[in-house]
Amino acid sequence: MHELKRNKPWFDEECSFLLDERKRAKMQWVQDPSQSNVDNLNNVRREASRHFRNKKKEYLKAKIEELETSSKIKIVRNFYRGISDFQKG
C-alpha cells in the first residue's frame, strides 16, 4: 500500500488501490508482453487516470465553493489564505 500523500489532499485509499493495481498490471506486462496484457495495462491506466482526474476535480470544486462562501460571509483571512494556496499550487 502507498502512504497517503500529504501534498495531495484528494488522494485517498481508493486512489492508492488503483495505483497498486496499475503497478501489478505493468509488472504482468513486463513479464509477459502479450497483447492481452497490453490491453489490460491500457485499461487499468485509463481507469486510474480518469479516477485521479475526477477526484482532483471534485476536490478543487469543493475548495472553490468554500472560498466563495468565505468571500460572501466576509471571512477575509480564510479567503485570502485559500487564494494564496491556489497560487502556490
Helix axes 35-72, 13-31, angle to 10 degrees: 160
DSSP characters for 2-28? Answer: PPPPTT-TT--HHHHHHHHHHHHHHHH
Residue 76 domain-assigned (yes or no): yes
Residue 8 domain-assigned (yes or no): no
| Grid cell at residue 79 | 479567503
Residue 40 domain-assigned (yes or no): yes
Helix axes 76-88, 35-72, angle to 10 degrees: 150
Q: Which residue range is the domain that position 67 belongs to?
A: 13-88
Residue 83 domain-assigned (yes or no): yes
Residue 39 domain-assigned (yes or no): yes
pTM: 0.73
Q: Is there a contact between 8 and 14 (Cβ–Cβ < 8 Å)?
A: no
Distance CA 4, CA 36 (A): 31
Q: Which residues contact 76 (CB under 8 A, 6 or more apart)?
A: 70
Lowest mean pLDDT among 10-14, 27-31, 47-51, 64-68: 64-68
Number of structural domains found in the chain: 1
Decide which of 20 and 12 is more confident: 20
Q: Is the pLDDT of residue 77 over 60?
A: yes
Residue 65 domain-assigned (yes or no): yes
Residue 1 domain-assigned (yes or no): no
